[in-house]
Amino acid sequence: MPQSGAFRAHLSSAADLVTPYEEIRAGFVALALERNRRATPAVEEARALKAAALRAKRPIDLLRIPRIQRALLTSAGISDKAANHLVETDKREAIQSLIDNFLDPAGESFVEELVYRFLLTRGDTLGGSMRNLGGAVAQHKLTRSLLGALHVAGLKYKWLSSRSKSWIAMSPQDADIELDTRGLSWVANRSVRTLVYNLTPPLLKKNLDFCLLRCRPQDYRTAMKSAQRYLAIGELKGGIDPAGADEHWKTAATALDRARKAFAKQEVSPYTFFIGACIVQGMAEEIWAQLSDGTLANAANLGNPDQLAVLCRWLVQL
Residue 117 lies in a domain: yes
Among 297, 244, 300, 289, CA closest to 132: 244
Same domain, 142 and 89: no
Same domain, 165 and 27: yes
Residue 71 φ/ψ, nearest 5 degrees:
-65, -35
Same domain, 124 and 223: no
Same domain, 223 and 163: yes
Residue, of 213 and 239, whose pLDDT is higher: 213
CB 232 within 8 Å of CB 255 = no
Q: Is 295 exposed, middle or buried (0-12, 13-18, 19+ CB in 10 A)?
A: middle
Same domain, 163 and 274: yes
> What Å distances lie between residue 141 and 29, 219, 237, 277, CA to CA?
15, 26, 12, 10
- Dihedral angle, C-alpha 205, 208, 214, 219, nearest 10 °: 60
Mean pLDDT across the stretch 120-148?
A: 82
pLDDT tens for 65-110 read: 988 999 999 999 998 888 888 898 999 999 999 999 999 999 999 9
Same domain, 110 and 236: no
pLDDT value of residue 3? 57
Same domain, 86 and 194: no
Boundary of a domain, candidates 84, 101, 129 = 129
Check whether 2 has a pLDDT greater than 50.
no
Same domain, 82 and 217: no
Same domain, 197 and 106: no
Q: Which residues in 77-99 are b (16+ Cβ under 10 Å) and which e?
A: bbeeeebeeeeeeebeebbeebb
Question: For residue 208, what is the domain's CATH number?
Answer: 3.40.91.10
Residue 4 φ/ψ, nearest 5 degrees:
-95, 170
Domain that holds residue 100: 54-129
Domain count, the chain: 2
Residue 48 lies in a domain: no
Boundary of a domain, candidates 92, 113, 129 = 129
Residue 45 lies in a domain: no
Q: Give me the chain's average pLDDT, please.
A: 92
pLDDT tens for 3-45 read: 568 899 999 999 999 999 998 998 888 888 888 887 888 899 9
Among 265, 264, 239, CA closest to 250: 239
Question: For residue 115, what is the domain's CATH number?
Answer: 1.10.238.90
Model confidence at 127, in pLDDT bands (50, 70, 90)? Answer: low
Residue 41 lies in a domain: no
Same domain, 178 and 154: yes
The Cβ of residue 179 has, within 10 Å, a number of other Cβ atoms equal to: 13
Boundary of a domain, candidates 70, 104, 129 = 129
Same domain, 210 and 78: no
pLDDT value of residue 267? 95
pLDDT value of residue 131? 60
pLDDT tens for 215-262 read: 999 999 999 999 999 999 999 999 888 988 999 999 999 999 999 999
Residue 42 lies in a domain: no
Q: Which of 165-179, 211-225, 274-288 is the least confident region?
A: 165-179
pLDDT exceeding 90 applies to what percent of the chain?
76
Q: Which residues in 43-71 are b (16+ Cβ under 10 Å) and which e?
A: eebbeebeebbeebeebeebeebeebbeb
Round to whole Å and give the CA distance between 149 and 156. 11
Residue 49 lies in a domain: no
Round to whole Å and give the CA distance between 223 and 221. 6
Residue, of 31 and 159, whose pLDDT is higher: 159
Round to whole Å and give the CA distance between 180 and 173. 14
Round to whole Å and give the CA distance between 283 and 162. 32
Mean pLDDT across the stretch 283-301?
A: 96
Same domain, 72 and 153: no
Residue 44 lies in a domain: no
Round to whole Å and give the CA distance between 237 and 276. 5
